[in-house]
Amino acid sequence: MNADAHRHAGAPAPADRSTDSRTALLAGRDLTVDLARASCVLLVVVVHLLMFAVSRTAAGALVVTAPLTHEPWFARATWFGQIMPLFFVVGGFASATAWASAERRGQDAGDYVRGRLLRLGRPAAAVFVFLAVGLGVATIAGAPPAILRTTAVGIGSPLWFLAAYGITQLFVPLMARLHRVNPWATLAVLATAGLLVDLGRHATGVTDFGLLNMVFVWLFVQQLGFVYASGWLERMPVAVLVAVPLACWALLVPMTRSGIWSADMLTDQNPPMTTLAVLGVAQLFLLRLFRPALARLMQTRAAQNVVFVVGSRGMTVYLWHLPLAVLLTGALVLVGAPLPVPGSPVWWASRIPMYAAVLALAFTVSLVVGRLERAPRPVPAGDRRPSLIVIAAAAVLTIVPPFVVMLDGLDLAWAVIGAVALPLAMWLLGRTRPQAAPTPICQDTPNRSATQA
């Protein structure tokens, strides 16, 4: 879910943000992938704003609830509204094209991983610093612990993506090679491993066993993006493009009735389960099915403008929308604004101005932190990137804090740890080393006896 969508043939993206740069940025790209990514970002904001509500009890106490989950249709709706697999599909497309471009420039796996960690970690570092300061101030100010804990967990819920996407990026060079050697075997092995993990988790009752699917499920869905980038679906008959998603949804019926998987695809997200792999296949084929219509839409200037604006700020919108929504709600509480009953018609209607306000705030924040989404500067001429050991250490510092937040929820301690670990990782990745001087070729020195002779 990087701010830029990667180009076909890996053409380099421009560095400035002028009108000419925008035109160049959009040229030579599959704009339908950009549109899919931007749509996913906007839809995530919608879902999250529907997933939390603040109200008061009869005694006047504040209560945080998730009204959407109480709707009888919610679980089935997630079969269509769970779009995180599509995020990883388009992310796989971006990764495939970015790695191909890196190879053409003579870069290796270390260069690629360093660049991707910088793109992922810099926006994340900023939000961790903000959360650490915010939770620290709230704690010192005496915020009710229960409300603070619930709010912190909610704010931190999107951070799991940083861990999952970071893990998949570490494997891109290897998975690209496997995709070239035998793509179908690669997909089959990943799917089988994911299924075995789910069965093992269910048999043992150890939920954390399912964490292995942070690798297998998300790598499988990322590989679907490799398939899309390879163009294999270009000549697929329309009947097949329709039949495959229908078959996937049909497969979810016995899977979710088996007791192994939940009917709620959000419940199946962390740890990820193979139901998300099934959804990923469906969403891949739907993306290809609607590509002609989406391509026509992306020929319009209005659509290009929206996609460019959202796409260039995608990570900022994703990471900041919930903290901003909480701040906005807190401000409404402080000024004594009426809080509608969660799930009531008034509450549903209030989501529209809330959505507009949160997006406006997120785009305002992007004016300050949006530059963190830009491509990192190339290593200066005459220097070398950090060593593989340093890159590995930076990867651990980048991935571990959001991974722990995914497991246990956000709290002040892990917000502070993330606020230290991620900037440290970015500093390590930004350090360069001077190129080693070439070893001079020593000429044979005449031996003493010859000289004397």
Q: What share of the chain has pLDDT > 90, as a percent?
A: 71
pTM of the model: 0.87
pLDDT for the residue 144: 84
| Paired residues of 63 in beta bridges | 55
Candidates 147, 270, 294; CA nearest to 210 is 270
**Length of the chain counted residue by residue:** 453
Q: Is the pLDDT of residue 321 over 90?
A: yes
Residue 446 is given by DSSP the state P
CB 405 within 8 A of CB 418: yes
| pLDDT, position 66 | 85
Looking at residue 11, its pLDDT comes to 34
Residue 34 has pLDDT above 50, yes or no: yes
261 touches 238 (CB < 8 A): no
Mean pLDDT score across all residues of the chain: 88
14-28, 77-91, 187-201, 255-269, range with the lowest pLDDT: 14-28
Is there a contact between 125 and 422 (Cβ–Cβ < 8 Å)?
yes
Least confident interval from 5-19, 96-110, 208-222? 5-19
CA 190 → CA 103, 238, 282, distances in Å?
Answer: 25, 27, 17
Mean pLDDT of 281-308: 95
Residue 310: HSE in the Cβ half-sphere, 13 Å Cα cutoff:
24
Per-residue pLDDT band for 28 (boundaries 50, 70, 90) equals: low
Annotate 296-324 with three-state secondary structure.
HHCCCHHHHHHHHHHHCCHHHHHHHHHHH
| pLDDT given at position 433 | 72
* 106-126 confidence digits (pLDDT tens): 999 999 999 999 999 999 999
Q: Are 196 and 210 in contact (CB under 8 A)?
A: no
Q: Would you state the pLDDT for residue 15?
A: 38
Report pLDDT digits (tens) over 67-90. Answer: 888 888 999 999 999 999 999 999
- 334-375 pLDDT, tens per residue? 888 888 888 889 999 999 999 999 999 999 999 999 889 888
pLDDT, mean of residues 170-179: 97
Q: How many CB atoms lie within 10 A of CB 311?
A: 25
Q: Give the model confidence (pLDDT) of 227-281 as tens digits.
A: 999 999 998 999 999 999 999 999 999 999 999 999 999 999 989 999 999 999 9
| 106-120, 129-143, 427-441: least confident range | 427-441
Confidence of residue 62 (pLDDT cuts 50, 70, 90): confident
- The domains of the chain are located at 8-431
- pLDDT band of 441, cuts 50, 70, 90: low
DSSP-derived secondary structure for 125-166: HHHHHHHHHHHHHHHHTT--HHHHHHHHHHHHGGGHHHHHHH
Neighbours of 436 (CB within 10 A): 7
Per-residue pLDDT band at 6 (split at 50, 70, 90): very low
